[in-house]
């Protein structure tokens, strides 16, 4: 009896394999089955929608490390990445700009790529200070601008324009607190990002070396997504 039971089980397994294997093989060949942490990498980058409109970078005008005035219009026709930092930051800024340096190394020779690093400590971070800071990171791209300006405008740009938190806080080391996010901007000035496994935009890329649920760091995702936007 056991012999016939085992034989029946084998027959069921063989039939199941015969039905499912060709379908599985076709799905693999068609690219339908992918590692979950890479799914969004093959999808088009999303726009960030607010009030039914795609969000664009707000207007800004600030001085860079060479004392030149730089506006959002100087980044048109360029893919660029935005961050908020300050040179005396004792914590995450150093990690953020080491990661930003990876982007500079990968794309800094291109005319259609740029970086905008806005200082949230403009009273200290003058163009001269920013120039020295840029030299520490051996910046390659002429389009990596370390920017300073009026304090209120910078905080408004961060908190309202990009929804990236930045604030003065005398109680914390360094006197400021801010989020370690990078924002990705396309050639027309629209905020873009990849989507998560649920079809929602991730909005920002984490600028510190931590993996997200997709299994990639924000910098690794940016290296892929900048390349994608450069081809649009």
Residue 174 contacts residue 91 (beta carbons within 8 Å): yes
H/E run at residue 105? helix 92-107
- pLDDT score at 213: 58
Confidence of residue 159 (pLDDT cuts 50, 70, 90): very high
In tens, the pLDDT along 172-199 reads 888 899 999 999 999 999 999 999 888 8
92 has a pLDDT exceeding 50 = yes
Asked whether residue 120 carries a pLDDT value surpassing 50, the answer given is yes
Asked if the model's pLDDT at residue 31 lies above 60, the reply is no
Fold of 41-230: Glutaredoxin (3.40.30)
Coil, strand or helix at 132? helix
Mean pLDDT of 116-141: 96
Residue 168 has pLDDT above 60, yes or no: yes
pTM, to two decimals? 0.81
Residue 207: pLDDT band (50, 70, 90) is very high
Element (H, E) at 6: helix 2-29
Q: What is the pLDDT of residue 89?
A: 94
Instruction: Tell me the C-alpha distance between 186 and 232, whole Å.
Output: 9
pLDDT number for residue 18: 46
In angstroms, the first-to-last Cα distance of the chain is 66
Q: What is the pLDDT of residue 23?
A: 43
Q: How much is the pLDDT for 108? A: 95
The pLDDT of residue 214 is above 90: no
Tell me what pLDDT residue 35 has: 41
CA distances from 3 to 37, 58, 68 (A): 45, 75, 86
How confident is the prediction for the chain on average, in pLDDT? 85
**For the segment 59-76, what is each residue's pLDDT rounded down to a tens digit?**
999 999 999 999 999 999
Residue 104 class from Cβ within 10 Å (0-12 exposed, 13-18 middle, 19+ buried)? buried
Q: How large a percentage of the chain has pLDDT more than 70? A: 79
The CA-based diameter of the chain, rounded to the nearest angstrom, is: 90
In the chain, the DSSP E strands lie at 46-47, 49-50, 53-54, 61-63, 69-71, 79-85, 113-119, 144-147, 166-168, 176-178, 181-185, 191-193, 205-206
């Amino acid at each position: 009896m056991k012999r016939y039971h085992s034989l029946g089980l084998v027959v069921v397994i063989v039939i199941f394999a015969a039905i499912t294997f060709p379908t599985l093989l076709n799905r693999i060949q068609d690219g339908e089955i992918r590692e979950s942490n890479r799914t969004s990498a093959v999808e088009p980058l999303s726009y960030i929608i607010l009030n039914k409109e795609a969000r664009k970078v707000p207007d800004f005008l600030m001085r860079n490390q060479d004392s030149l005035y730089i506006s959002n219009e100087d980044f048109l026709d360029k893919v660029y990445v935005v961050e908020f930092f300050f040179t005396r930051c004792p914590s995450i800024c150093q990690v953020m700009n080491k990661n930003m340096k990876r982007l500079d190394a990968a794309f800094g020779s291109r005319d259609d790529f740029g970086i905008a690093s806005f200082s949230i400590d403009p009273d200290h971070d003058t163009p001269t200070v920013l120039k020295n800071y840029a030299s520490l990171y051996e910046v390659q791209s002429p389009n990596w601008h370390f920017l300073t300006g009026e304090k209120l405008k910078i905080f408004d740009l961060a908190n309202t324009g990009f929804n990236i938190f930045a604030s003065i806080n005398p109680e914390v080391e360094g006197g400021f607190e801010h989020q370690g996010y990078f924002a990705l901007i396309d050639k027309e000035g629209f905020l873009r990002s990849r989507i998560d496994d649920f079809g929602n935009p991730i909005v920002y890329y984490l600028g510190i070396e931590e993996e997200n649920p997709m299994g990639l760091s924000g910098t690794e995702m940016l290296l892929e997504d900048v390349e994608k936007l450069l081809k649009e």
